[in-house]
């Protein structure tokens, strides 16, 4: 990011002992090309702004030979720097993943440095996932961007001067008025779910310390949070390599076509991925990153208006 020169509050160097696919690993955190909370710089380094348990923070990650240089700014600087190895998949054990399918072998060969990230921040992943429920990515990303720009804070450090912003905290998400959600294109069903999640942030953050089934149960016990939303959170916040996006409009079809040549539904996807447990999400994401690209032939629907008609 041009013009960034102010010294960070914390700097560390991590030597992972393996290749690191910086953008590939962290790309799943980015909510569209205009996401104000993340930036990929021209030099391939990665910027992220977030709200940690210690407060707002900016983290910058850059490859330097066999090391990753991690710099942090803000109240949560120590937290984001200490969490950087997990963010880049240090806790993700892929040693038991031994696919025989030629396409998966090729995907793994093409992405040797990819791992499942673990942000350790549930609300950070959950609210955007709720906004993305049952709408196009274009619509969801635009709504998220507008809400962050309206209610998020300028990111700590010099990157904030270039437009990087922290998302709202859980308390801030919970206080956003209903009309502001509507102005951002988020209907009442989704905004209501997001507010309920934000109001239960403390208990939801505790799902980081329980097994995946219990984490899913706690999240889906909140009205409006289903298995798809819970999986999207587990993929990012929990670093869960088995959290498949069941209920997604595209995922079953695309995985079915990639692995068998035929589209499948959720039931077919579950059967197809069962032999890969506990690496089912690993299969999904590797195919998304390095698998064949098939054009989506349906026209993109126009964004829907959620404002009341006058």
Cβ burial, residue 295 (10 Å; 0-12/13-18/19+): exposed
Find all residues with CB under 8 Å of 48, minimum gap 6, and list them: 26, 29, 37, 38, 58, 59, 61, 80
Query: What does the alpha-carbon distance between residue 188 and residue 80 come to, in Å, rounded to a whole number?
Result: 33
Query: What does the alpha-carbon distance between residue 234 and residue 245 come to, in Å, rounded to a whole number?
Result: 10
List the structure tokens of 95: 């040693």
Query: What does the alpha-carbon distance between residue 141 and residue 127 come to, in Å, rounded to a whole number?
Result: 12
Predicted local confidence at residue 291, as pLDDT:
77
Using DSSP, state whether 47 is helix, strand or coil.
Answer: strand
b/e sequence 12-49, b meaning 16+ C-beta within 10 Å: bebeeeeebbbebbbbbbbbeeebbbbbbeeeebbbbb
Query: What does the alpha-carbon distance between residue 60 and residue 64 come to, in Å, rounded to a whole number?
Result: 13
What is this structure's pTM? 0.91
List the structure tokens of 85: 């190895």
The neighbouring-strand residues paired with 59 are 48, 72
Predicted local confidence at residue 290, as pLDDT:
87
Using DSSP, state whether 33 is helix, strand or coil.
Answer: coil
Query: What does the alpha-carbon distance between residue 9 and residue 64 come to, in Å, rounded to a whole number?
Result: 20
Q: Is the peptide bond before 109 cis (omega within 30 degrees of 0)?
A: no
Find all residues with CB under 8 Å of 1, minimum gap 6, and list them: 39, 41, 47, 159, 162, 164
Predicted local confidence at residue 4, as pLDDT:
53
CB 48 within 8 A of CB 59: yes
Predicted local confidence at residue 292, as pLDDT:
75
How far, in whole angstroms, is CA 148 from its chain's centroid? 15
List the structure tokens of 254: 């695309």
- Mean pLDDT of each 10-residue bin along the chain, 310 residues long: 71 97 96 95 96 98 97 98 98 94 96 97 98 94 97 96 96 98 97 98 98 97 98 98 96 96 97 97 96 57 44
Domains of the chain: 10-94 (3.30.310.20), 122-232 (1.10.340.30)
């Amino acid at each position: 990011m041009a013009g960034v020169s102010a010294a960070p509050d914390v700097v560390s160097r991590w030597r992972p002992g393996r290749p690191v696919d910086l953008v590939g690993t962290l790309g799943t955190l980015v909510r569209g090309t205009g996401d104000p909370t993340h930036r990929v710089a021209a030099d391939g380094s990665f910027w992220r702004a977030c709200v940690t348990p210690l407060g707002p923070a900016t983290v910058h990650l850059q490859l330097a030979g066999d090391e990753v240089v991690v710099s942090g700014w803000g109240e949560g600087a120590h937290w984001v720097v200490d969490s950087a190895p997990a963010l880049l998949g240090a806790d993700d054990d892929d040693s038991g993943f031994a696919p025989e399918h030629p396409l998966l072998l090729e995907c793994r060969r093409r992405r040797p440095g990819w791992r499942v990230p673990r942000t350790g921040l549930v609300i950070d992943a959950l609210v955007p996932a709720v906004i993305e429920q049952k709408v196009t990515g274009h619509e969801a990303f635009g709504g998220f961007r507008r809400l962050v720009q309206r209610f998020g804070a300028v990111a700590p450090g010099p990157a904030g001067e270039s437009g990087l912003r922290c998302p709202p905290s859980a308390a801030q998400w919970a206080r956003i008025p209903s009309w502001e959600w509507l102005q951002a294109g988020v209907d009442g069903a989704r905004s209501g779910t997001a507010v309920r999640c934000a109001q239960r942030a403390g208990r939801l953050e505790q799902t980081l310390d329980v097994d995946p089934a219990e984490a899913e149960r706690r999240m889906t016990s909140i009205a409006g949070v289903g298995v798809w939303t819970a999986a999207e959170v587990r993929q990012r916040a929990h670093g869960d390599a088995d959290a498949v996006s069941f209920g997604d409009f595209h995922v079953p079809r695309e995985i079915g076509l990639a692995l068998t040549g035929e589209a499948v539904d959720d039931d077919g996807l579950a059967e197809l991925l069962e032999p890969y447990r506990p690496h089912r999400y690993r299969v999904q994401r590797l195919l998304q990153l390095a698998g064949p690209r098939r054009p989506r032939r349906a026209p993109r629907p126009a964004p829907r208006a959620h404002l009341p008609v006058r």
